[in-house]
Chain A
Amino acid sequence: MTDMINELRVLCAIDGVSGSEDKVREYILERIKDRAESVTVDALGNIIAFVKGKRSPKNKIMISAHMDEVGFIITHINSDGSLDIAPVGGIDEQVVLGRRIRFGDVCAVIGGKAVHNLSADERKKTVGFDDMSVDIGASSKDEAKKLVSLGETGTFCDEFISFGNGRLCSKAIDDRAGCAIMLRMIDEGVECDTCFAFVVQEEIGLRGSGCAAFAVQPDIALVLETTTAADIPSSSEDMRVCELGKGPVVTFMDRHTIYDKELYKLTFDTAAVNGIPCQTKTRIAGGNDAGAVHTSRSGVRACAISVPCRYLHSASCVADENDIENTYKLAKQLLNRIYDL
């Protein structure tokens, strides 16, 4: 396992649900404090790190990845000590029931009516957040209130594992993969001056990145992300979006952005020249911080490079180790070609 993948393991283990990215931010600030020329944390909690290169480029460049992950927020504490929760970010209810989650150090399980006691119809339906019982083991409201509070956020507690042939499984690979790649790029240093933005609140509507872009005022922005891979048996070829093991994903359009055509082509060309496998996204779906960044101020040229990832927004995001390595390589090579574009 490479140093970058090891760091990804560490990053994924840190809980940082949107709006509560503090611990991820602390980790990253500590990591980059001696490597960046200047580091600022803005009002929303974005980290903007200016890393000096050998010279100033023609274009001001911002690379970003988001620190936040999807999770849950406590909305009510019931008299029997159980909790009501709502999702933070887009979590499909089908991956929530029967799961272990945590609010800080407090472990909780999500359950409901036992399968034995369900009607035939109930057995065939997924359970909505309103009907789930979130149990921390408390038997009264007072007991629960000693351990958790309203508005506290939590997330899945499944550990990071590697399995199969070079596959990684964890919560929060979206988008700690992007964070890990940026940390490696900062460690290795850059050719030209570059702004690295570790942003907040992507999962609840691309909120951090817009402010970061406003502050940085880049000419060109590169977003490092993860994106849904639907290369599963039930999916026909045209519905797969992208596939694991086929390299980083470069997007021409998604729900939030029509990407800069020249940058799109340049990214593929860079991959070809450097022998890096690369694929495009075959569906117009999803979106990422490029949506907020490219509409910042009077507009920013933007491109996104994503790690293909199965079961996104679950406790078990699955990515391929080589895809992450190749995403890093492509980002690094592309950077050198956009400084003076």
Chain B
Amino acid sequence: MSLNTFELLGGLVEVSGVSGNENNVVEYAKGLLDKYGKTETGVLGSVLCKVGEYYENRPDMLIDAHIDEIGMIVTYITDDGFLKVSGVGGLDNRVLPGQRVKICTDDTVLDGVIVSTPPHLSHGDKNAADIDDICIDTGLTKSEAASKISLGDRVYIANSLERLCGERVTSHALDNRAGCAAVILALDMLDMSKLKYNLCVMLSTQEEVGERGAKTGSFSVKCDKAVIVDVSFAHTKGESVSQCGELGKGAMIGFAPSLSREMSNEMKQTAEENGIPFQIEIMSGKTGTNADVIGVSGCGAKTVTLSVPIKHMHTPAEVVDMTDIENSAKLICAYLERN
């Protein structure tokens, strides 16, 4: 493995990409993908990379990971120069008060702080902040703020990638830069002479607001089969053991009515044959991932999900185990090279 997982992932989380505003991270990812194939950007911003030679007699395979992240969008500037915001994607409002944020303007990135209400005003109530009550302290007056910040600018909570114990790491946006890292690692490991598919990799936009980048991107690719690489729940305090995977136990292979049972079984067999650790994730209908739209794109495609287990999803304190990313990459690679 020539790529270092920590450096790869660290670089990917460092560049912002709140849904609809993924340009920076897409450009960064294109730079990483260039050496594996020709890249192009779709109308909604997803990056597509065609890998290897095209053969008429081979099935077309799409490997997808969404590259966008949740965040906020500026809707109003108050008389005191504070920003009002709306959520972009499934924000966890409980974690917002007191957090540092980055405000992404056209020219630059500004720092801000999300207001936390002092106890004498909250009267000790235990209600989590509603997004309508959230304000961002810019340290600026209204006119200063209005000259620098535009309505519609994205805001996100930034945390650089940090090592925890062992191979575990924490950051914001591991949903789904962890998936992006797994896909790029897989390309890096892939033996092109063994590739059994016409392969296209897609790092798609706007998943967090309803799988929109994957919908249009997969239409333009027209695949027979697709592997969707995302994150899924790892067990932590308060979560149900039966509905979660575990950190460090390998990628979670999805089984669901909306997925191809054939592909799920193939993926499981591939893992078993190659001694790659894996877990099974059962979903009872759709998956809540890009597989839901890719599977019914055009005249349809067979899909399977591979999920990197993650703790504290949609918070700036997400945690993944880097071995799960590496094992996801190995599994993708082995699947692509399998007869």
A-side residues, CB < 8 A to B, are 81-82, 90, 92-95, 97-100, 106-117, 123-128, 131-133, 135-139, 143-144, 147, 158, 161, 163-167, 169, 228, 230-235, 239, 241, 283, 285, 310-312, 314-316, 318
Contacts and interface: CB of A to CB of B under 8 A. Distances in A.
A161 to B, nearest CB: 6
A90 B94 CA distance: 19
Contact of B238 (A109, A133, A164): A133
B12 to A, nearest CB: 19
A299 to B, nearest CB: 29
Contacts of A283: 120
How would you classify the secondary structure of chain B's contact residues: helix, strand, loop or mixed? loop
A85 B15 CA distance: 32
Contacts of A241: 118, 120
Interface stretch (B161-169, B188-196, B273-281): B161-169
B239 A232 contact: no
Interface in B311-339: 311-317, 319
Contacts of A144: 165
A112 B139 CA distance: 31
A269 B288 CA distance: 65
A163 B111 contact: yes
Given A94-B97, A126-B128, A137-B165, A82 B319 contact: no
Given A98-B312, A125-B127, A233-B135, A163 B112 contact: yes
A163 B115 CA distance: 15
A136 B82 CA distance: 34
A232 B137 CA distance: 8
Size bracket of the B interface: 35 or more
How would you classify the secondary structure of chain A's contact residues: helix, strand, loop or mixed? loop
A132 B237 contact: yes
Contact of A318 (B92, B113, B169): B113
26 contacts: A94-B122, A98-B315, A111-B311, A112-B237, A117-B233, A123-B93, A124-B127, A124-B128, A133-B312, A135-B319, A137-B168, A139-B166, A161-B100, A164-B112, A164-B140, A230-B118, A233-B78, A233-B79, A233-B115, A311-B118, A314-B116, A315-B98, A316-B100, A316-B113, A316-B116, A318-B113
A133 B137 contact: no
B139 A165 contact: yes
Contacts of A234: 115, 117, 121, 133, 135
B319 A109 contact: yes
Contact of B164 (A108, A132, A231, A235): A108
A115 B121 contact: no
Interface of B: 78-80, 82, 90-100, 110-122, 126-130, 133, 135, 137-141, 144, 157, 159, 162-166, 168-170, 233, 236-240, 243, 247-248, 288, 311-317, 319
B174 to A, nearest CB: 11
A93 to B, nearest CB: 8
A163 B247 contact: no
Between A143, A232, A239, the greatest number of chain B beta carbons within 10 A of the residue's beta carbon is seen for A232
Contacts of B316: 98-100
A117 B139 CA distance: 35
A114 B78 contact: no
A244 B100 CA distance: 18
A239 B121 CA distance: 7
Given A100-B317, A235-B121, A165 B165 contact: no
B128 A123 contact: yes
Nearest to A284: B120
